Amino acid sequence: MEKATIQDWTDSVVLLKFDQHKDVKYQVYRDHEKHFLEMRDPEDTHIHTLELPDGMKLDKSSYEVLLRYVLMDVVHA
């Protein structure tokens, strides 16, 4: 199986800490047997791609929680 979109690009405002936020867009896709969550800024610059663990099926609100944790780790590192 080739690449398939699970959730198309979705705009999100991610709350970080102390009234800080970051505007991002993200998509969730499957490439062969692996699942990924890819984040980009509003100008379409790549921020990070996270490989999701096998069998992890989430809903939109769960993806938003992942965005926050990844952004706190990646952007503030």
Each residue's pLDDT expressed in tens, for the chain with a length of 77 residues: 588 898 899 888 887 777 778 888 999 898 888 889 899 999 999 988 988 877 666 766 777 777 777 776 666 55
pLDDT score recorded for residue 45 = 94
Q: What residues contact 51, with CB distance under 8 A and at least 6 apart?
A: 34, 35, 36
Domain residue limits at 45? 4-74
Q: How many domains does the chain have?
A: 1
16 torsion bin: left (phi>0), alpha (psi -120 to 50), beta (else):
alpha
Model pLDDT, residue 74: 67
How high is the pLDDT of residue 52? Answer: 85
Residue 38 has a pLDDT of 92
Q: Residue 74 in contact with residue 49, Cβ under 8 Å?
A: no
- Helices within the chain (DSSP H only): 60-74
